[in-house]
Amino acid sequence: MNFTEFNLNSELMEGIAAMGYEKPSPIQELAIPLALKGFDLIACAQTGTGKTAAFLLPLLHQIMLNKKHDSNIHALIIAPTRELAIQIDRQLEGFAYFTGVSSIAVYGGGSGNDFEIEKKAIKTGAQVIIATPGRLLSHINLGYVDFSKLNFLVMDEADRMLDMGFMPDIQRIIRQLPDKKQTLMFSATMPSEIRALAKKILHNHQEINLAVSKPAENVLQAAYIVYDSQKIALIESLITDRDLPLVLIFSATKSGVKEIESALKKRKMNVQAIHSDLEQDQREQVLNNFRNRKIQILVATDIVSRGIDVDNISLVINYNVPGDAEDYVHRVGRTARAEKTGLAITFINEKEMGKFHRIEEFIQDTVRKLPLPAELGDGPSKDQHHDRSHSKSRNFRPKGKNNFRRPSTPKA
Ligand code: ADP
Ligand code: MG
């Protein structure tokens, strides 16, 4: 299939070509026609498979078709983090380059001046707003946000937006929007109780489910059973002398992230950390340094576990087992984007074996446990582990090698 078959607006087609997109991905093939027909959608597809364009293209097409260059708010896209809102806005600007459709990313943390810039854009004509919920509510509460002409609501990372942390804000926002609008929900995961909730918000909706809640096929997964005290040395041995462009290390807490950063710095590694104690401009700077490869290793909280698209992350390390299986799927999905391959390694300590086993059940896969490098000494005994001989290895294909030696580097 080709993008021409969607019969999209010609200026939009120029933007698609300029972005270097040649063929639609599977989720784009399925979601774009349904969105163009006006259906509400719950669309689930694996990480890194092009969900952003799957909602941006129909949305931009409809704005071009009906409204062109007025100064009303036609679409609202909600995302869970500032960094993701910024990223979606950049991608929109790329596609919309030749269309003249205007947009603004509205997210918290910046200076008072940033707030004024957002306010002006909201009042004078951003056709698409990409927002984090809290910041959008700050503007809504000041009374000048006019959603009366809104046609589209998009929730990216929809299951996150509808979970308990965000739901009250989302409900407040939805109350401000016209009833008659098209709502599109996208995510790589969609727990059933959240899906039920989602359906209450949607009208006349369609669902697309491409391998929900599974890591993308091209993420090679592995794990080490390891004591906390061995983890820094293990990171060093995994990274040193290997040709790894970018490495992303997740830790559960801010304090954990800071400790890992300083331990790796002491070992002269090229590392920075991102977490919510940083000022917003520092957060953006760190992420840019990583995108531009000024730093090799980014240590992060779950701020960057959802949606963030950085080319060439060849290795994701879970410093500890993620809190739930959805988090695992999203974290490992920061590698192997857009058909590349990547490696995701999880460190499991002696207390986390049961938790990791539950993640394996959820993703219906047994993740290969690798032996620790000899110089680290013994790790926790595997006998502490459940007997899992009954669970079959389904997706894991070690590509002909019996033992993991070095991660494959993605194609440039
Ligand atoms: P998802 O939201 O599904 O995790 P993204 O929308 O972030 O994935 O897309 C992942 C990467 O793939 C991005 O860098 C994006 O530009 C690229 N991409 C998406 N669709 C296409 C396509 N049809 N052709 C080429 N690259 C694409
Ligand atoms: Mg996404």
CATH of the domain at 258: 3.40.50.300
pLDDT of residue 43 exceeding 90: yes
pLDDT of residue 341 exceeding 80: yes
Q: Which atom of ligand 1 is nearest to the CA of 21?
A: 24
pLDDT of the residue at 67 = 67
- Do 258 and 178 share a domain, yes or no? no
- Do 233 and 169 share a domain, yes or no? no
- Token readout for 248 is 């992303």
| Distance of alpha carbon 331 from alpha carbon 359, whole angstroms | 13
Total-model pTM: 0.92
| Distance of alpha carbon 208 from alpha carbon 50, whole angstroms | 14
pLDDT of residue 349 exceeding 60: yes
pLDDT of the residue at 384 = 59
pLDDT of residue 13 exceeding 90: yes
Band (pLDDT 50/70/90 cuts) for residue 394 is very low
Q: Which atom of ligand 1 is nearest to the CA of 45?
A: 3
- Do 67 and 174 share a domain, yes or no? yes
Ligand 1 contact via 338 beta carbon (within 6 Å)? yes
pLDDT of residue 336 exceeding 80: yes
Ligand 1 contact via 189 beta carbon (within 6 Å)? no
Give residue for tokens 């391998």: 211
- Do 132 and 237 share a domain, yes or no? no
- Token readout for 324 is 């739930």
pLDDT of the residue at 69 = 76
pLDDT of residue 408 exceeding 80: no
For 131, the domain range is 3-209
The alpha carbon of 256 and the centre of ligand 2 are apart by a number of angstroms equal to 26
- Do 194 and 231 share a domain, yes or no? no
- Do 32 and 178 share a domain, yes or no? yes
Mean residue pLDDT of the chain comes to: 91
- Token readout for 348 is 């499991």
Q: Which atom of ligand 1 is nearest to the CA of 25?
A: 23
Task: Give per-residue pLDDT as tens, 193-237.
Answer: 999 999 999 999 999 999 888 899 999 999 999 999 999 999 999
Ligand 1 contact via 21 beta carbon (within 6 Å)? yes
- Do 142 and 18 share a domain, yes or no? yes
pLDDT of residue 396 exceeding 50: no
**To test ligand 1's pocket by mutation, which of 8, 25, 155 has the most ligand atoms within 8 angstroms of CB?**
25
Query: 129, 44, 80: which is closest to 304 by C-alpha?
Result: 80
Q: Tell me the CA distances in angstroms from 102 to 97, 140, 377, one per residue in order.
A: 9, 19, 58
Beta-carbon count within 10 A of 26 CB: 16
**To test ligand 1's pocket by mutation, which of 49, 331, 332 has the most ligand atoms within 8 angstroms of CB?**
49
Task: Give per-residue pLDDT as tens, 283-322.
Answer: 999 999 999 999 999 999 999 999 999 999 999 999 999 9
| Residue 139 is assigned to a structural domain of this protein | yes
For 16-30, what is the mean pLDDT? 97
Beta-carbon contacts of residue 170 (< 8 Å; ≥ 6 apart): 78, 133, 155, 161, 162
pLDDT of residue 387 exceeding 70: no
| Residue 241 is assigned to a structural domain of this protein | yes
- How many domains in the chain? 2
